[in-house]
Amino acid sequence: MEQKLSQIQKDYLKKIQSAPNLKVLDEIFLELFGKNGVVNKLSEEFPKVPKEERPKVGPLFNRIKKELEAVIADKRTAIREEGYKKLETEKFVLQPGRLQAKRQGHLHPVTKLEQETIELFKRLGFQQFSAPHIDTDEYNFELLNIPKGHPARDLWDTLYIDYPGYAPGKLLLRTHTSNAQVRSMREFGTPLRMMIIDRCFRYENLDARHEHTLEQFEIVYVDKGVSMANLQYLSEYFLKAVLGKNTKVRMRPKYYPFVEPGAGVDGQCLFCEGKGCKVCGWTGWLELAGAGMIHPQVLKNGGIDPNEYSGIAWGFGPERMAMLKYGIEDIRIFKSGNLKALNKIHERKKPISPAKIAEPEGDVL
Ligand code: DAH
């Protein structure tokens, strides 16, 4: 038995070392350690080994088995590394395939709208800012006047995360880009013109207007003498630029704990031009943003003196704007990965006429 083991060790060490590629190495591995492999077969012979030899043969068997396993693992790494090196030095010649030459990509319609938005607000001196997608409930809620147990938390269906080192309920997927408000104030102070265009996440009941993963466009504008008039002006500037200069904008009082006064910003429904239709729920208006004057306590939380400075903030929904702009009735189309539908939307350069919208186009809508 001892001799047999040594022979196997010798033969297989040689075989492993000379394996030219991973395929051969895998075959050797199976030959050794597979169900009907050499190692299993050998262990079946154990009962036949004379008792006095067993204390020697057992450990020897285990040592050789381990050694062969380790040598195979090392060889596998060596073959892989050699392959990577080859890849680095090899030259590829790319030939255009016929299909590829014809196909042309384009930006996602929502990305396009967001890039236009960034350009529009850069012109007004706004700077881009980003905040974490996974954040603490402090930045997402508490510093925005929404303490634990406050009924306003129910406004956001939140996805909490269990993670070592954080108490339950402490870590979450941010429900809005407003988690950037206090961070940007603390980081840059006054005067402040920030824009945040990014993703948020909610535990939503999905329907034509609600997605679990959604975009938001937030601004935080703090300076001396900033007022609701600035909010009305900026809302009009934005909506007219994106949706057309005849777009009508209105503000309604609305409650958010981190603004006072708070407002909902509505755009007149492009589908029915304000007459009322099923898209706008027969009101003639579509809610596109939450907004308001930043609450004095939130300014204080950001290290800003509310007696000296005032600010406005809003959170628009770029996907809602894109629905309006491109005449889409179902928000889920945007993240569906349905290229056919997205290509169709891309081809619609401007808002389509209300007459057309009344007749939704099959697979896009
Ligand atoms: N964060 C709010 C939401 O997701 C929207 C919002 C409301 C943002 C008011 C603001 C604001 O900046 O001032 O529902």
Q: Which atom of ligand 1 is nearest to the CA of 220?
A: 12
- How many C-beta atoms lie closer than 10 Å to residue 48's C-beta? 7
Question: 202 an active-site residue?
Answer: yes
Tens-place pLDDT, residues 140-178: 999 999 999 888 888 899 999 999 999 999 999 999 999
Ligand 1: distance of its center to the CA of 261 in Å? Answer: 12
Residue 19 backbone phi and psi in degrees, to 5: -60, 125
% residues pLDDT > 90 (the chain): 55
Highest mean pLDDT among 55-64, 246-255, 283-292, 300-309: 300-309
Residues 199, 186: Cα–Cα separation, whole Å:
22
The pocket around ligand 1, CB under 6 angstroms, is made up of 176, 178, 218, 256, 259, 290-292, 313-315
Per-residue confidence band for 340, with pLDDT thresholds at 50, 70 and 90:
confident
Summarize pLDDT for 187-236 with one digit per residue, the tens: 999 999 999 999 999 998 888 778 999 999 999 999 999 999 999 999 99
Per-residue confidence (pLDDT) for residue 215, from 0 to 100: 96
Stretch 250-258: mean pLDDT: 96
Domain boundary among 89, 121, 148: 89
Domain co-membership, 159 together with 265: yes
Based on the fold, state whether residues 67 and 149 are members of the same structural domain: no
Most confidently predicted of 20-29, 190-199, 246-255: 190-199
Domain interval for residue 6: 2-89
Q: Is 127 a catalytic residue?
A: no
The packing angle between helices 54-89 and 2-17, to 10°, is 0
Q: What pLDDT is stored for residue 145 in this prediction?
A: 97
Distance from residue 191's CA to the centre of ligand 1 (Å): 21
Active site residue 252: no
Atom of ligand 1 nearest to the CA of 177: 1
What sign does the dihedral 236-242-245-250 (CA atoms) show?
A: negative
- pTM (whole model) above 0.75: no
Does 98 reside within a domain?
no
In this structure, are residues 285 and 127 in contact, taking their beta carbons and an 8 Å threshold? no
Q: Is 263 assigned a catalytic role?
A: no
CA 359 to chain centre: 33
Q: Is 216 a catalytic residue?
A: yes
Q: Domain check: are 62 and 198 in the same one?
A: no
The residues with which 264 forms a beta bridge, in sequence order, are 252, 290
Query: Domain containing 324 — which CATH number?
Result: 3.30.930.10
Do 283 and 138 belong together in one domain?
yes
The answer to whether residues 47 and 125 belong to one domain is no
Provide mean pLDDT across the span 246-262: 95
Query: How does residue 103 score in pLDDT terms, banded at 50, 70 and 90?
Result: low
Question: Binning pLDDT at 50, 70 and 90, where does residue 101 land?
Answer: low
Q: Tell me what the mean pLDDT of segment 82-99 comes to.
A: 76
Does a structural domain hold residue 193? Answer: yes
* Integer Cα distance of 143 and 158 in angstroms: 16
Hey, whose CA ends up nearest to atom 10 of ligand 1?
314
- Among the atoms of ligand 1, which is closest to the Cα of residue 176? 4
Domain count, the chain: 2
C-alpha dihedral (315, 316, 319, 322), degrees to nearest 10 = -170
Query: Both 66 and 182 in a single domain?
Result: no
Whether 273 shows a pLDDT value over 70: the answer reads yes
Q: Whose CA is nearest to atom 4 of ligand 1?
A: 176
Same domain, yes or no: 204 and 66: no
- Give the side-chain half-sphere CA count within 13 A for 327: 23
Tokens of 259: 């603004």
The amino acid occupying position 295 is H
Tokens, residue 327: 């005449």
Q: What is the mean pLDDT of residues 103-122?
A: 91
In the chain, the amino acid numbered 331 is I
User: What integer pLDDT is reported at residue 361 of this predicted model?
Assistant: 36
The secondary structure of the chain in percent helix, strand, coil, rounded to multiples of 5, reads: 45, 20, 35
Band of residue 362 on the pLDDT scale cut at 50, 70, 90 = very low
Query: Residue 285 phi/psi, 5° resolution?
Result: -130, 150
Q: 102 lies in a domain?
A: no
Is residue 83 within 8 A of residue 90, CB to CB? The reply is no
Q: What is the mean pLDDT of residues 71-97?
A: 83
- 150 CA → ligand 1 middle, Å: 17
CB atoms within 10 A of CB 272: 18
Predicted pLDDT at 255? 95
331 sits in the region (left: phi over 0; alpha: psi -120 to 50; else beta) called: alpha
The percentage of residues in the chain with a pLDDT greater than 70, rounded to a whole number, is: 93
For 324, residues 6+ apart whose C-beta sits below 8 A from its C-beta are 243, 267, 269, 270, 271, 286, 288, 351
**CB atoms closer than 10 angstroms to residue 86:** 9
Catalytic one among 39, 156, 180, 263? 156
Atom of ligand 1 nearest to the CA of 216: 4
pLDDT of residue 51: 84
CA of 157 to the centre of ligand 1 (A): 14
- 203 DSSP assignment: -
In a domain, 280, yes or no: yes
* Per-residue pLDDT at 364 exceeds 80: no
- Report how far ligand 1's centroid is from the alpha carbon of 289 (Å): 7
Residue 220 belongs to a domain: yes
